[in-house]
Amino acid sequence: MAAKHKDTRYRVIYAKDYQIESKSHNVIRDFEIYHQDTLFRCNVDYLTDELMALHKYTFTLIDKQDIDIFHRMLSNNCRRNVNDCSGMAGILRNMATMSKNHQKNLYIRCIPPQVALSPESYRVFAEDVLDVVPLILKRQNTKMSAKHIRILNVKNGEWRKKDDDKSLDLTVSFEQLDEFLEKFDCDKSLLTLVEDPMYTATKMDQETHSGYRMTCAPDLTQVIDPLQAAAFFFHSVVNGVDWSRKEPCLEHGPECLKTLKKRFMRILEEYAKTDVTV
């Protein structure tokens, strides 16, 4: 059967096209994005630490429609029973739970390239792609086939981190995103990519003050790209060593600096082998 949606395109909202405001130093939670007539926030912006302990949350961008609907539902529930307010936090767990209550617009973040490359160098978190595909299919009234389920199961095993996994969060390129969506004949026009707000906010802070560009993974863990990690390593570790010291180290002996230098060089060699686009 011919693909109906192969030529569809998702929309991309780049940082240069929106205005971002941070309400506090916690840029992962407290930011607002203004793009044309749309307001974006993060789903965990509304949650206290106590409420976040009740569920496992996935970072999700919400827009003004989501915000208005959530406020209305929260107001109605709390008016009936104050104990229902904490239960409402479950609605905000992820894109899927929020989409059960209304036809939510679908957004995922895209991470900018570490150097000035083409727009195709932007990447998206692989786990976000896995989460959004079933929602797109539902929106376009396409039933999940056995083949679709097999593909998702395979990629869930390859792309999704286990709860105790401390490895790097996998990202995919726009080209890989297109290829994956086309396996399901997804209508890509139902999806909007938004340049990562936390990366944008920390980049602005780095340029005006100091610090490092970072963001959070889908599971809300703070992450930093390999290039920024290398910069952090040098600023906080290498620069903290007195390389001109002549006296032998009392703790590690006379070969201390030489050994330390070798270890740093091994780290650099490992970094040089790293695919910084992943």
Per-residue pLDDT reduced to its tens digit, 48-71:
778 788 788 999 999 999 988 888
pLDDT tens-digit readout, 154-179:
999 999 877 666 556 788 999 999 99
Residue 21 near residue 199 (C-beta atoms within 8 A):
no
Residue 88 near residue 74 (C-beta atoms within 8 A):
yes
Round to whole Å and give the CA distance between 245 and 257. Answer: 9
Within 10 A of 93 (CB to CB), how many other CB atoms are there?
18
pLDDT tens-digit readout, 78-92:
554 444 556 667 888
| Predicted local distance difference test score (pLDDT) of residue 118 | 52
| Predicted local distance difference test score (pLDDT) of residue 206 | 65
Which of 9-18, 19-28, 265-274: highest mean pLDDT?
9-18
142 band by pLDDT with thresholds 50, 70 and 90? very high
Residue 182 near residue 6 (C-beta atoms within 8 A):
yes
Round to whole Å and give the CA distance between 149 and 258. Answer: 55
User: Which range has the worst mean pLDDT, 70-84, 187-201, 238-252?
Assistant: 70-84
152 band by pLDDT with thresholds 50, 70 and 90? very high
What residues are paired with 123 via a beta bridge? 111, 173
SS3 content of the chain, % helix, strand, coil (to 5): 45, 15, 40
Residue 132 near residue 180 (C-beta atoms within 8 A):
no
| Predicted local distance difference test score (pLDDT) of residue 82 | 43
Asked whether residue 276 carries a pLDDT value surpassing 60, the answer given is: no
* pLDDT > 90: percent of the chain: 37
| Predicted local distance difference test score (pLDDT) of residue 275 | 57
Query: Which is nearest to 32 in space by CA: 47, 17, 42?
Result: 42
Helices (H) and strands (E) in the chain, counts: 10, 11
Classified as helix, coil or strand, 120 is helix
Round to whole Å and give the CA distance between 90 and 183. Answer: 31
Domain ranges of the chain: 11-224, 229-273
**36 φ/ψ sector (left φ>0, alpha ψ -120 to 50, else beta):** left
Two tokens, residue 220? 């809300």
Within 10 A of 226 (CB to CB), how many other CB atoms are there?
15
Round to whole Å and give the CA distance between 254 and 13. Answer: 56
Strands 106-110 and 191-195: parallel
Query: Which is nearest to 154 in space by CA: 125, 180, 135?
Result: 180
pLDDT tens-digit readout, 117-135:
555 589 999 999 999 999 9
Handedness of CA 114, 117, 121, 123 (dihedral sign): positive
179 HSE (CA, 13 A, CB side)? 6
pLDDT tens-digit readout, 249-261:
878 888 888 888 8
Average pLDDT of the residues of the chain:
82
What residues are paired with 33 via a beta bridge? 20, 40
pTM for the whole structure? 0.79
Query: Which is nearest to 217 in space by CA: 137, 149, 174, 161?
Result: 161
Within 10 A of 275 (CB to CB), how many other CB atoms are there?
7
Place of tokens 């999700």: 60
| Predicted local distance difference test score (pLDDT) of residue 259 | 86
